[in-house]
Structure 1
Amino acid sequence: MDEKDILLLEELQKDCRQSLKKLARKLSMSITTVYDRMKKLEKEGVIKGYKAILDPDKTGNEAIAFILVRMEYFHGPDYEPLSQREIAKKISQIPGVMEVHIIAGEWDILIKARGKTIKDIGNFVIDRLRMIRGVGRTLTCDAWVTAKESPDVYLRKPV
């Protein structure tokens, strides 16, 4: 990616509904060049798609929690080893799960989940998450205030 790709991506992250004409004018490129660059970035998988970003509070999904999971690597009578990737994939398929990360340290997996209420998140942990083979101890941290939440990917070196 060159500087022009980065500028294009930054503009698309601000507003992906901008017309090609508007993007071309802002970036001092031709419409064809902007279109070709977008198609190239889509083909390379840099641009994964275009979505509406919803306000969770206005859609009734106000409760947010971060859940740490400690795995039980050997589980059941066979003591068959379990894969973090397998468990993370199972967790990621549950509705309300926003993010799943395999992490280093004392815990193995970090989950970001949303629900209408904290009770919904509690039910998710009790009835869904802890029922997954290999999920051991969990620690749930409810978020009271979100100071920043962004789907944007930072494209430049930190200041």
Structure 2
Amino acid sequence: MMTLDATDKRLLLELQKDAKQSIKQLAEKVNLSITPVHERIKKMEAAGVIQNYAAVIDPKALGKKLLVYCQVTLVRHQESLFEEFEAYVLGLDEVLEASYIAGTYDFLLKLLLEDMEDYQNFAVHKISKLEIISNIKSSFVIRSIKKTSVIHCI
């Protein structure tokens, strides 16, 4: 694991807020010259601290208005079933996030869909067709209160 100092952490916070900032703008914000800022960013990229840069898109602009959380239980706890489910979910574009969880359910899926008809199609033709699933419980988001991808490290 890479050791981060206060300047690295400030750079990370600034990049999370706006990754399109120029190195010059970042250098001004952390009171360093351009070369050390560039070197720090490259080191954090090489170490895997910075994994990727991405555009944040408004889902509604693409017709995706329905956010759903699905709790999934498999028929039994068996390594091959977990592997089969995980491999299947990786191929589903509707799934934004999938987590193996402890508790009543085995997996938590975060889905982004167009509408209830799109959800019904997903439920009937994609997720429910897996015979290794014993139960699916879905919750529909009425309104998102907080949505961020920024990890505070300062």
Counterpart of 1:120 in structure 2 is: 118
Moved over 4 A (4+): none
SS in 2 for 1:53: coil
SS in 1 for 2:51: coil
1:34 to 25, 32, 37: 37
Distance 1:39 1:23 in 2: 14
Cα distance in 2, alignment partners of residues 49 and 131 from structure 1: 34
Q: Which runs of 5+ in 1 are unaligned?
A: 75-79
Shift of 1:129: 1.0
Match of 2:136 among 138, 141, 144: 138
Tell whether the 8 Å contact from 2:75 to 2:132 is kept in structure 1 after alignment.
Answer: yes
| Alignment check: 8 A CA contact 1:69 1:137 kept | yes
* d(CA) in 1 for partners of 2:83, 2:47: 24
2:74–2:81 Cα contact (<8 Å) kept: no
Which has the larger share of helix? Answer: 2
Show the counterpart of 1:71.
74
Per the alignment, residue 11 of structure 2 pairs with 8
Percent identity of the aligned residues?
30
Q: 1:9 to 1:85 in 2, by over 3 A?
A: farther
Q: 1:98 Cα deviation (Å)?
A: 0.5
Deviation readout 1:35-57 (Å, 9 max, x if unpaired): 11111111111111111100112
**TM-score scaled by structure 2?**
0.90
Equivalent residue letter for 1:33: P
Distance in 1 between the 2:23 and 2:96 partners?
Answer: 31
Q: 1:86 to 1:105 in 2, by over 3 A?
A: same
Higher relative contact order (CA 8 A, sep 6+): 2
